[in-house]
């Protein structure tokens, strides 16, 4: 396994992209609108996603700001066998809160697990 990305919810996507690219020298790696879900995902980082962990900025179109307590989303881990990974997580105290399957408005196979403290971990089939 490897860490793929960390997701942050942002109120103004362009402002956030500008901040991370200008203040920290990151690059905008990809950006995609999901009109049916009314959100946009932008991935920023220091190098290609195949070899580097990145930050996912999620902009929900109808939300202009977040409390810090709700701003953090999840840690994402890439795995070869998402079904086995969910089972291993269960055996080690995790709670699968979303069984493996395609993401809404897309085809990527994902699952979500809550760790023993309630933090979310997204598993992504790679």
Residues 1 and 38 in one domain: yes
Q: What is the pLDDT of residue 9?
A: 93
Over residues 70-82, mean pLDDT: 92
The pLDDT of residue 114 is: 94
pLDDT at 80: 95
User: Per the domain annotation, does 72 fall within a domain?
Assistant: no
Q: Are residues 42 and 86 in the same domain?
A: no
Is pTM beyond 0.85? Reply is no
Residue at which a domain ends, from 19, 35, 66: 66
Just list the catalytic residues: 122
Alpha-carbon gap, residue 25 to 42, rounded angstroms: 15
* Count of domains for the chain: 2
Write down the pLDDT at residue 50: 93
The answer to whether position 71 is within a domain reads no
Strands 120-125, 54-60: pairing is unpaired
- Give the burial string for 67-91 (b: 16+ CB within 10 Å, else e): eeeeeebbbbbbbeebeebbeebee
Same domain assignment for residues 54 and 3? yes
């Amino acid at each position: 396994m490897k860490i793929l990305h960390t997701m942050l919810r942002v109120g103004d996507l362009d402002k956030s992209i500008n901040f991370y690219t200008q203040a920290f020298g990151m690059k905008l790696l990809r950006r995609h609108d999901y009109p049916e879900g009314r959100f946009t995902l932008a991935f920023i980082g220091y190098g290609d996603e195949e070899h580097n962990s990145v930050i996912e900025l999620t902009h929900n179109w109808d939300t202009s700001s977040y409390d810090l307590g709700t701003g953090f989303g999840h840690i994402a881990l890439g795995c070869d066998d998402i079904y086995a990974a969910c089972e291993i997580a269960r055996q080690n105290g995790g709670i699968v809160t979303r069984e493996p399957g395609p993401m809404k408005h897309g085809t990527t196979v994902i699952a979500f697990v809550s760790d023993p403290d309630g933090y979310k971990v997204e598993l992504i089939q790679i």
